[in-house]
Structure 1
Amino acid sequence: MNLIPVIDLMQGQVVRAVRGDRQAYRPIVSRLCGSSDPVTVARILCDHCATHQLYVADLDALMGRPVQSAVLRTLTQALPRLELWLDAGFATAQAADALRLELGSAGRQMVAVFGSESLASRPELAQCFSGARADDDGVLSLDRRDGQHLDIAGCWDAPELWPRRVIVMTLERVGAGAGPDLETLAEVRRKSPSTFVVGAGGIRNPEDLAQARDAGAGAWLVASALHDGGVPRTSG
């Protein structure tokens, strides 16, 4: 199972995500990184996990402010092999297309993450992963908090519209040390057995990772367990 490190960006800094309460996030304090600088943190986390994939949540954009385009450009310039999975609160496929154009060369490293909490409608869900965009390899994030689906567009109930890769994002477990949400992972796998499922939230240690792998996760998004020293370095 692959580990995909996560950085949460707010006002140009990496912050610590806890239970999806974005207003309460504070600059990261980490055993791995002595800085909240995005490039420094990204480089250390990717090296620790032996990966070139990085998930970035642009919290400014998710809370209705402008996308942190300058920070994203700096990340891709510093890490030219990076595959940048970006959740910037895209409500439509056109919004992701526009940002990719705005980023210029950096946009070629961007994999758009469309969150169910942000997508505007079921037709927009269909637009994201069909037609000319079917080969773009975008990612759908199925978001939930405290047992409730965050899903205006009805993404959870439309597996026929899902792309190849789907994230199961259990927000109340993010940064909470509560263990992975394997029940929801199993629910999504039952709906679409052929989908590559990426878990998010709750990982504390290698035992959690082993359970997630055995439950059928193809990858897991990890942040707090890396910063707290719970997940050892991956041999490259």
Structure 2
Amino acid sequence: MLRVIPVIDVLNGVVVHAVKGNRQKYQPLQSVLTTSVNPLDVATVFKRQGFSELYIADLDAILENKPNFALYSGLVQIGFNLLVDAGITAIETAKKLYSYGVSKIIIGTETLPTISFVNEIIQQISAEHIIISLDMKDNKILTPHNFSDSTEMSELLKQLCRMSVTDFILLDLSRVGSNEGVNIDLLTQISTILTHNGNGGRVYVGGGIQSLDELLSLKKFDVLGVLLATALHSGKIDINTLKQTGLLF
């Protein structure tokens, strides 16, 4: 069953509209769903609509190493299964996220210090609570400037699969907030590599989703979940329609 997961991007403590990864140009959220830019308020709207999962891109943590643990705790208390990208670069931060009740800890390649770091976290927390985000821009994997491991997609995925990683996100920052559609070529490439590695790797997709028809078309790729923000806040994908098509239950 394809899961639709709303996304909240937080920068300087407020919800922002993410567009193509150009973070210096992100503006406070404007939404047909709410007039608030407070993360807890926006999350509460999603909860009332029936969503049980929520993805938080904590840009204050990713850019400034300032995770908002109080926010994560508040969202868990609202009742969400929480997926959080807090720019993890330290084992202790990952363990603290887990202790605050975060369901899935996102490790993004954009901030990944080394491939072996993933294995260290898995040894401390377990693979079932980890999702690797393949942070892409202009069809290239984003990594820190001092990243010394392979950034070739096939080799990177093979190494991660050997570590028992099963869940991945294709996050195409070039398409986030753009309504340009999913990068099907990249999705096909990743799905093929995971199939050939035989570990049953599952993929979430984020960036560019523009319509309900596109959502439904992703089923043929066995996509596990779709991360949505702009399409929900603009009203292009309607909550009632998601319920009628069985994508929100």
Aligned position for 2:117:
124
User: Residue 51 of structure 1: CA displacement?
Assistant: 2.5
Root mean square deviation of aligned Cα: 1.9
Aligned position for 2:246:
none
Matched, 1:57 2:49: no
2:235 and 2:91 mapped to 1: Cα distance?
37
2:91 and 2:189 mapped to 1: Cα distance?
26
User: Residue 10 of structure 1: CA displacement?
Assistant: 1.3
User: Residue 181 of structure 1: CA displacement?
Assistant: 1.2
C-alpha offsets along residues 24-51 of structure 1, whole Å, 9 cap, x if unaligned? 1111000111211111211222444x33
* Alpha-carbon distance change, 74 to 134 in structure 1, aligned in 2, over 3 angstroms: closer
User: Residue 98 of structure 1: CA displacement?
Assistant: 3.5
Matched, 1:140 2:132: yes
Question: What SS is found at the alignment partner of 2:110?
Answer: coil
Q: Which runs of 4+ in 1 moved over 6 A?
A: none
2:217 and 2:113 mapped to 1: Cα distance?
34
Counterparts of 1:25-44 in structure 2, within 5 Å, are 25-44=26-45
Aligned position for 1:6:
7
* Alpha-carbon distance change, 10 to 121 in structure 1, aligned in 2, over 3 angstroms: same
User: Residue 15 of structure 1: CA displacement?
Assistant: 0.6
C-alpha offsets along residues 164-186 of structure 1, whole Å, 9 cap, x if unaligned? 21101110000011101121111
Worse-matched range after superposition: 166-175 or 210-219: 210-219
User: Residue 202 of structure 1: CA displacement?
Assistant: 0.5
> Do 1:53 and 1:83's aligned partners in 2 also have CA atoms closer than 8 Å?
yes
User: Residue 161 of structure 1: CA displacement?
Assistant: 3.0
Worse-matched range after superposition: 89-98 or 113-122: 89-98
Aligned position for 1:73:
73
Aligned position for 1:86:
84
* Alpha-carbon distance change, 165 to 14 in structure 1, aligned in 2, over 3 angstroms: same
1:94 and 1:136 mapped to 2: Cα distance?
18
User: Residue 134 of structure 1: CA displacement?
Assistant: 2.5
* Alpha-carbon distance change, 40 to 3 in structure 1, aligned in 2, over 3 angstroms: same
User: Residue 92 of structure 1: CA displacement?
Assistant: 3.5
> Do 1:168 and 1:199's aligned partners in 2 also have CA atoms closer than 8 Å?
yes
1:161 and 1:47 mapped to 2: Cα distance?
38
The size of the alignment, in residue pairs, is 227
* Alpha-carbon distance change, 57 to 65 in structure 1, aligned in 2, over 3 angstroms: same
* Alpha-carbon distance change, 198 to 28 in structure 1, aligned in 2, over 3 angstroms: same
2:191 and 2:88 mapped to 1: Cα distance?
24
Residue type at the aligned position of 2:176: V
Q: Percent identity?
A: 28
Aligned position for 1:104:
none
Residue type at the aligned position of 1:222: L
1:22 and 1:191 mapped to 2: Cα distance?
31
Q: Which runs of 5+ in 1 are unaligned?
A: 102-106
- Output the TM-score relative to the length of structure 2: 0.84
Aligned position for 1:201:
207
Worse-matched range after superposition: 166-175 or 116-125: 116-125
User: Residue 61 of structure 1: CA displacement?
Assistant: 0.9
> Do 1:137 and 1:163's aligned partners in 2 also have CA atoms closer than 8 Å?
no
Aligned position for 1:227:
233
Q: Which runs of 5+ in 2 are unaligned?
A: 244-248
Question: What SS is found at the alignment partner of 1:9?
Answer: strand
